[in-house]
Amino acid sequence: MRPLTPPAVAAYLDGLSRLPHPVLARIRAEGLAAGVPIVDPLTGALLHGLTRAIGATKVLEIGTAIGYSTVWMATALPSSSLLVSLERDQTRATAARAYLAEAGLDDRVNVMIGEADRYLHKLAGPFDLIFQDGDKTQYGPMLAKLAPLLRPGGLLVTDNILWDGEVVPGFTDRPHKNTTDTAAIAAYNAALAADPRFTTSWLPVGDGVAIAIKLGAGD
Ligand SMILES: C[S@@+](CC[C@H](N)C(=O)[O-])C[C@H]1O[C@@H](n2cnc3c(N)ncnc32)[C@H](O)[C@@H]1O
């Protein structure tokens, strides 16, 4: 597999990064050992910075896994904030809850177990930031539900928009990803790029991150 970021560059940037909480190192180690897909540390740091920069106090995450990205964002939130994180895998959600409690962040994070789709219509927005990192085939269909939950000026951040480069024509000789997921991400990227409700930045950080700013009435 051809890396999106040269390994020496990734290692150099990792070396410059500071963890906002030491538990992140253990969650990452567990994720890597158990084959749980979690964001790249540079993506985690980006999420932390964005959350802090916009002064977010209400955040929604699709796909908690064992809480790695959740902790990156929660450590950027004031204690009176709310981060709702949705995870359909009970074992992973339980592990995430334990890590969040250990880090003293369970006062501001609510990990809800079940299909995200089942919760979305029950959630009271608006959210300042939504992090989409769930089922890749749901990225497109879920966009219509997530956009109204975001405040004007809020951020829809999406991970895996490059999918090991497999959405990029000619980048990979031997694709190894599920082709249904690859097609779904490519379609989502095209839809988000054309969506008049958002202006989007496309970053080759980690596995590719899209930062879509929801436009307001005056934009
Ligand atoms: C890529 S992992 C999330 C990683 C996590 N955001 C992190 O970086 O630490 C995706 C997770 O989303 C969960 N998931 C996928 N689709 C979902 C859905 N529709 N509703 C709830 N959870 C979902 C999966 O069970 C999986 O644990």
Q: In Å, what is the CA distance from 112 to each residue of 61, 97, 143, 197?
A: 10, 10, 20, 28
* pLDDT value for 46: 97
* Residues 212, 192: Cα–Cα separation, whole Å: 8
User: What length does the chain have?
Assistant: 219
Ligand 1: distance of its center to the CA of 87 in Å? 6
Chain segment 77-96, per-residue pLDDT in tens? 999 999 999 999 999 999 99
- 135 CB near ligand 1 (under 6 Å): yes
Convert 188-204 to b/e letters by CB count within 10 Å (16 or more is b). bbeebeebebbebebee
Backbone angles phi, psi at 122, to 5 degrees: -95, -10
Stated pTM of the model? 0.98
> Counting atoms of ligand 1 from 1, which one is nearest the CA of 116?
20
Are 179 and 185 in contact by the 8 Å Cβ rule? The answer is: no
Q: In Å, what is the CA distance from 114 to each residue of 6, 100, 135, 151?
A: 37, 18, 13, 25
> Counting atoms of ligand 1 from 1, which one is nearest the CA of 138?
19
- 160 CB near ligand 1 (under 6 Å): no
- In the block, tokens 């897909």 appear at 37
Which residue, 55, 11, 83, 47, is CA-closest to 158?
47
* pLDDT value for 109: 98
Greater model confidence, 122 or 219: 122
1 pLDDT exceeds 90? Answer: no
Architecture of domain 7-214: 3-Layer(aba) Sandwich (3.40)
